[in-house]
C-alpha cells in the first residue's frame, strides 16, 4: 500500500470544513492500494504535519474498526450540525477515532512548542 500526503490550498479541499481529507485513488471508494491525503497549507509546516498526523491516525483506526470512507464522506459532506469540527459530533461515525487523534495531535503540538489554542485558531481561520 502507498500513502501520499500532499499540501494544497485550503479552497481546493473536497468539502467545506476540513483542513485534512483522505480517500483512495481510483474507483473503489472504500479500499485501494493508494491512499491520498490532502492537507490544507499553513505558513508553518509543523501545523500541516499536525493535521496530517491526525488524519493518518483517524484513518488507521477507522479502517481497523471497519468504518468506511464512504460512511465518513456521507456524514462530513452533508454535515449540518452545530459542532466546529464534524468529528466532535457524537453522531459522527468516527467520533471516537477523531477524539483519540485529537489527543495525539495535541501532545505533538506540545512537543513542537506550539500553543494548542493558537494552533486551533489557525486551523479554524482556514475557513
pTM for the whole thing? 0.92
d(CA 38, CA 35): 10
Q: Using DSSP, state whether 3 is helix, strand or coil.
A: strand
Can you give the residue range of the structural domain that contains 27? 2-124
Q: Are 78 and 15 in contact (CB under 8 A)?
A: no
User: pLDDT per residue over 48-92, tens digit each?
Assistant: 999 999 999 999 999 999 999 999 999 999 999 999 889 999 999
Quote the number of domains for the chain.
1
Amino acid at each position: 500500500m502507498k500513502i501520499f500526503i500532499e499540501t494544497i490550498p485550503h479552497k481546493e479541499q473536497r468539502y467545506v470544513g476540513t483542513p485534512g481529507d483522505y480517500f483512495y485513488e481510483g474507483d473503489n471508494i472504500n479500499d485501494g492500494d493508494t491512499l491520498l491525503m490532502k492537507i490544507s497549507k499553513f505558513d508553518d509546516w509543523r501545523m500541516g504535519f499536525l493535521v496530517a498526523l491526525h488524519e493518518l491516525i483517524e484513518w488507521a483506526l477507522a479502517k481497523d474498526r471497519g468504518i468506511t470512507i464512504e460512511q465518513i464522506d456521507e456524514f462530513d459532506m452533508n454535515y449540518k450540525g452545530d459542532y466546529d469540527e464534524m468529528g466532535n459530533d457524537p453522531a459522527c461515525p468516527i467520533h471516537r477515532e477523531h477524539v483519540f487523534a485529537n489527543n495525539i495531535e495535541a501532545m505533538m503540538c506540545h512537543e513542537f512548542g506550539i500553543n494548542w489554542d493558537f494552533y486551533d485558531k489557525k486551523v479554524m481561520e482556514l475557513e
